[in-house]
Structure 1
């Protein structure tokens, strides 16, 4: 199906372009959300008549998104979750959690604006991409830790999942023979 785009859509086209898309994508997403019109003579003339208002509305949305992006740029957010000794979370941090964290800080971001291909399942510093507008995108840092103190240590660059951090042992000093030596004879069995 051919449609006329009413706004810029990533990986598809710019406002005003006539593009060919799959019928289901047009019927289920583009047309109901007002992101496109069917490509016919009547809709082409309608688009040309409304082009100035559509461009003004797009520019306004972009400027609002840019203000939010400027406020969020360079920020790091601490997420406290329960985790095992190896750093594996007992749950996960999903897009819904990122939205809740940002809302607690006063930023209004919807779940579909958070790009998180897989939930975060380990402690550490994680980059999460936010698509605030088709032309405005930024990355925020999530500091996932077991406590606020660990989050501070992690922010300074310490690793909380290494043997040194967990057991107080220097990883370089560990050797396999310190743990298991199959050639060693067991004491007390030679009688």
Structure 2
């Protein structure tokens, strides 16, 4: 384990100025290169204490800027047109990069590493996506994944287009089955007359 001083709030780890123990790889590959922490040496502790007010002021400015973007971004819906099968399964997936690109096209400054997806989106529908704008600021957006713009509009109104399509197909099959049964009965009646 390695001791580091956090230069910003890191989820599940601590706040600015906390000295925490982390695995060496996490410190070496994530915290230190992204300037989220300093190694907890005596010299670095003195440097941090001397610059603490400045670091906290910078963090406050970054949080306020992220909050302003978050207020505008929260609740936005981004439509993504993709090819999909009849059951709504995509012929690929929608990734964080796709959502970040859609947000950028709508005029929002969002990077792909700020988009949090538990797994890539692989079905059509309206999916809620979390956007981490700052360690203390999050926004929720909707990714409306559809095959066509018309389908996206129907989904935006709350319709489950896959279920509606399956219901239409089932009704058509039931009508076909009824017609076949009716024809079979009429053929049977004609055979009995002869």
Q: TM-score, normalised by structure 2?
A: 0.84
Give the aligned partner of residue 191 of structure 2. Answer: none
Which runs of 5 or more residues in structure 1 are unaligned?
179-191
User: Greater Rg, structure 1 or structure 2?
Assistant: 2
What is the root-mean-square deviation in Å for CA atoms of aligned residues? 1.9
Give the aligned partner of residue 95 of structure 1. Answer: 96
How big is the shift at 1:48? Answer: 0.7
Give the aligned partner of residue 24 of structure 1. Answer: 25
State how far apart, in whole Å, the 2-side matches of 1:157 and 1:65 are: 30
State how far apart, in whole Å, the 1-side matches of 2:146 and 2:29 are: 40
State how far apart, in whole Å, the 1-side matches of 2:39 and 2:139 are: 32
Matches within 5 A, 1:108-187: 108-162=109-163, 164-166=164-166, 168-169=168-169
Displacement over 3 Å in runs of 4+: none
How big is the shift at 1:170? Answer: 6.0
Give the aligned partner of residue 106 of structure 2. Answer: 105
Give the aligned partner of residue 7 of structure 2. Answer: 6
Structure number with higher helix proportion:
2
Give the aligned partner of residue 189 of structure 1. Answer: none
How big is the shift at 1:92? Answer: 0.9
State how far apart, in whole Å, the 2-side matches of 1:81 and 1:37 are: 44
State the Cα deviation string for residues 110-142 of structure 1 (Å, max 9, x = none): 111110121111100101100000000111001
